[in-house]
Structure 1
Amino acid sequence: MAPTDDGRDPRRASHAALQGIRRELRRHPAITSVDGHPHDALYTQLRAAIDPLLVGSDAPPGTLTVAWFVRPAGAPPHFRFHYADDTGFDCGWHHHEQTHVDGLGHYQERASDGDSYAYEPFAFNSVEPARVTWEILDEVTAILSEK
């Protein structure tokens, strides 16, 4: 990937954002582990194991997969935080173009693997990695408490 107009290497900048997100995820009580992938190179995504029992929920354990893409100066980052559990339920908070909603922010959900996603706009309070992480962790915790 070529450097951006401001001289940044987008892959290194995205990796640095993911490292910061990894630190924040490790601070949440329901997160039991967080791994960067690929393990031996610049991260392109994170996978966090979630144990809902640690936040008082009987929901099944799940995984939060995170991707963050730094873009040229002045352009907002693209990212996704996607949660899934063993029942086939999955949902995600995304910040990128999507034909199903206007704007960059949206939430998508489906009850099981064979279902279609339902989409709705989602307004992020920030596009700063640590703040987005905690906003999404609050959203995930709310979903787990409903299960």
Structure 2
Amino acid sequence: MGLSGTIDSSVYEGLRDVLQRHPAITSVAYEPDSIVKKFIQAQVDPNRVVPTTGPKPPTLDVEWRFVGDDPAFRVHYADPNTGFNCGWHRDDDHPELGAVHFQHYVPELGETNHEPAQFEKQIPTEILWAILDQLFQERLPELTME
């Protein structure tokens, strides 16, 4: 991780609230601490994802920056039990895919796949809700089921 730009504390508070309200998430903390707030890390209940995983809880890292009025963000899920990880990134890493891309790492193949992504919403908390819905309802079941 490591986006450039500035952090808006009120945006981070809103994002933290969204994470705390999601039923799959058991704890939320600022990293490295509540003063520096480089990103937010949520612990995911391994029994509340489809398919279930464990014993270690997966993590969901949320980083949000602003360069002027333009947002840059990374919302990235990682499962330490399987090595699977995926996320939505709005950064300069893959300009050919547009402003936002989705990527997922396939441990069995040792490769990362990228595809364009977009969100109808513009407000950070609404984008995060949309990402959580896609992650837990669509992406994890379709990408991690045998």
SS of residue paired to 1:48:
strand
Opposite residue 64 of structure 1, the aligned amino acid is L
Question: What's the counterpart of residue 141 of structure 1?
Answer: 136
1:103 to 81, 98, 107: 98
One-letter amino acid of the counterpart of residue 10, structure 1: T
How many aligned positions are there? Answer: 135
Tell me the amino acid that sits aligned with residue 141 of structure 2.
Answer: S
* Separation in structure 2 between the aligned mates of residue 113 and residue 43 of structure 1, nearest angstrom: 34
Cα distance in 2 for partners of 1:50, 1:26 equals 11
Q: Closer, same or farther in 2 for the Cα pair 1:40/1:30, shift >3 Å?
A: closer
Aligned-partner SS, 1:47: strand
Distance 1:23 1:35 in 2: 11
TM-score normalised by length of structure 1: 0.80
Q: What's the CA shift for 1:80? A: 0.7
SS at match of 1:106: strand
Q: Which amino acid aligns with 1:139?
A: Q
Pairwise CA RMSD of aligned residues?
Answer: 2.3
Which runs of no fewer than 5 residues in structure 2 stay unpaired? none
What pairs with 1:118-129 in structure 2 (closer than 5 Å)?
118-129=113-124
Structure 1 range deviating more: 130-139 or 36-45: 36-45
Deviation beyond 6 Å, 4+ runs, structure 1 = none
Deviations 1:23-63 (A, max 9, x none): 01100100000110121413110111111423664234411
Bigger radius of gyration among the two: 1
Distance 1:54 1:134 in 2: 17
Q: Give the equivalent residue in structure 2 for 1:71.
A: 67
**Contact 2:74–2:90 (CA under 8 A) maintained in structure 1:** yes
Q: TM-score, normalised by structure 2?
A: 0.81
Choose between structure 1 and 2: higher strand proportion: 2
Instruction: Tell me the CA shift for residue 115 of structure 1.
Output: 1.7
Percent sequence identity is 36
